[in-house]
Structure 1
Amino acid sequence: MSNVVMFLLLLLDLIEFSYAQTFWKLHIDYPKSYAPGSSNQYCNVMIGWRKVPMSGACKPVHTFIHENTTSIANLCSIPPKPCGKRQVKICHESPTPIKVTDCFAKSGFRPPTCQFQEIAESRKIQVICKNGRPIFLKN
C-alpha cells in the first residue's frame, strides 16, 4: 500500500474519532454534574462549560445523557432501526430508558446570552454510529 493511501486511511480514522470525541464532549455528563446557582442553572452552566456550538441563534434543544460511557458505546451493537424523514435504518435505540436532561432555549435571547429551561427525565434515546462509535444523538 502506498504512503498516500496509508495517510488517507489514517486521516479518515482520525476524522471519525473526532466525531465520536465531539459526541462525548457535547452529550455525556455522567454522573450528572453539579451546577452552581439555582436548580434551573444546570443547562446554562453546562452548555457554556461544554462550548455547545451556536451560530447566529440559540440552539433550540440540547440533550445531556447521564449514563456511563460503556452503556452508551454498547448502543452501537444493537441492530439499527429506521429513523428520520426517510426512515433509513441507521439509529440504534436504547433498550431501556436512560436519564437525560433536555435543555430548551428560552425565547428572546441570542448568543452569547442564551438562556435555557431544563427538563430532566428518563427515556429511550437513539444514536447514529460509525464504525462502532456513537457520533450523533437523535432528539
Structure 2
Amino acid sequence: MMTKLGPLLLVLLLAGPESSCGDNPRYEKFLRQHYDNPKSSFSGKYCDSIMAKRGLTKPECKEVNTFIHETKNNIKAVCEEGGEPYGNLRRSKEHMKVTTCKLKGGSTRPPCKYKENSSPRYIVIGCENGWPVHYDESQIVTTVDNADLD
C-alpha cells in the first residue's frame, strides 16, 4: 500500500501549501494578473514583455497593472494577520516588492508600450474567504498614514 501512496504523497509534499487555493477562479485570475515571483527576466523590457505574456494587451492595452514579487503565502497573509483593514480592503503591514506597469502614450490599441516603476510599497488588496482576489491599482501606498500612528 505504501508504494501506491508514495508518488501521491510526493506530489502533495512538493506542491506544498502555496499551491492550494481550493477551487477559486478569482484567486487564479489575481495570480495571473498580479503575481510574478521570482521576478521574470526578459530579454526586452519587463513590462512590455510580461503584459503581453499574461494576455493584458489584447484586445486593448491595459492602462496600468502591478506585479507583486513576493511568495503566494506572503500575499495571502495580507488577507489575515499580515494585513490590516483599509476601508473594505486589506493593506499589507510590510512593504512588498512590486513593479507597476503604466501605458505610455494615449492610445490603448496595440502595440502596447509601458514604462515601469519598481519599488517596495504597501499593497492594498481585496480578499474573499481569505484569498486575494483584487489588487487596488488606485491605492499606491508608500508610507503609513499619520492617522494610523495615533
Same-fold status (TM-score > 0.5): yes
TM-score normalised by length of structure 2: 0.70
- Greater Rg, structure 1 or structure 2? 2
Question: Given the alignment of the two structures, is residue 52 of structure 1 paired with residue 56 of structure 2, yes or no?
Answer: yes
Question: Given the alignment of the two structures, is residue 42 of structure 1 paired with residue 46 of structure 2, yes or no?
Answer: yes
- Any idea what SS the aligned residue of 1:76 has? coil
CA contact (8 A) 2:98 2:120 kept: yes
TM-superposed CA distance for 1:36, in Å, is 1.1
Alignment of 1:80-91 (within 5 A): 80-83=84-87, 90-91=88-89
- Structure 2 segments unaligned to the other structure (5+ residues): 1-21, 138-150
Question: Given the alignment of the two structures, is residue 73 of structure 1 paired with residue 76 of structure 2, yes or no?
Answer: yes
TM-score normalised by length of structure 1: 0.75
How many residues align? The count is: 115
CA RMSD of aligned residues (A): 1.9
Distance 2:80 2:42 in 1: 33
Distance 1:47 1:35 in 2: 12
Distance 2:85 2:106 in 1: 37
Among the aligned pairs, what percent are the same residue? 31
Alignment of 1:27-38 (within 5 A): 27-37=34-44
Q: Which runs of 4+ in 1 moved over 6 A?
A: none
- Structure 1 segments unaligned to the other structure (5+ residues): 1-12, 84-89
> Relative contact order: is structure 1 or structure 2 higher (C-alpha 8 Å, sep ≥ 6)?
1
